[in-house]
Every structure is written in C-alpha cells, then in structure tokens.
Amino acid sequence: MVAQLKLGRLTRGREAAPEQRASPRRNVSLAAKVAIGAATADCTIRDVSASGAKLHAPSVLRLPEEVRLVILSEGILVHAQRVWARFPLCGLKFISVEEIQRSRHPDAVQLRDAWETWRGQNQTRPDPSKV
C-alpha cells in the first residue's frame, strides 16, 4: 500500500503531451536500478503513469520480457512487463509495486543492496558547524 501511494505521488502533476493512453504520463527523471541476472544496471525512468513507464537503460542491450527495478528515491520495487523496446529505451507495463524492504523476491536482494548503497550516499549529512 505504501508503495502504491509513493507511485501515485510520482504520477501527480503536469502531464506529458496530450495523448490517448488510459493513464496520463508525467515526464520525470528518476534514477533506478534494474535486475539483470545476479547483477544490477543503472537506468532512468523518463516518464511514468499509474500503469507503466518509459525506461532509459543504455547499459542494457536487451531487457528480458519481465523485469524488476527499484526506484531509488522512493525505495519501491517494481515488477513490470516490457511491452516495447527501441534501444536504449523501452516501455514497461507495471504488474506490481512494493516496498523494497518488504520484498521477498530473489531479485530484490541485489536491488535492495543497490538501494541501500544509494541511500547511504544520498542521505543528508548534518553540518558539523550547526550541531
């Protein structure tokens, strides 16, 4: 439920150009990591809606039909189906979303590690002069 709320927050706001999709898309630039076998690869979500996203993954030649990725700033794990691909972009249809910390899926292990590393590097550190 929390993951759904976070995804909903990402999809609110100004929409991309008018279109005929069932769910309006919002232009974004969200850092993400996608699971590729036992490794992860950097990617960027370029636009997002309640039902899917456009993914920019220049380090991945071809994504599998089903993928799992973590949206780093939100800590949510997305299970998605690849519906189109034109390297380095692909379109994803969301199957499910959940908090990365609660996931028990095997792909979540390396994605959780990548998220925790990212979070540790991006947490605001207190200014020692103001403590």
Closest CA to 8 of 97, 131, 129, 69: 97
As a CATH number, domain 2-13+22-122 is 2.40.10.220
Note the pLDDT tens digit of each residue in 28-37: 999 999 998 8
Three-state DSSP at 80 gives strand
Is the pLDDT at 23 greater than 60? The verdict is yes
Interval 24-80: pLDDT, tens: 889 999 999 999 888 899 999 999 999 999 999 998 888 899 999 999 999 999 999
Place 18 in a pLDDT band, splitting at 50, 70 and 90. Answer: low
Provide the residue ranges of all domains of the chain, joining segments of one domain with +.
2-13+22-122
Percent of residues, the chain, with pLDDT higher than 70: 77
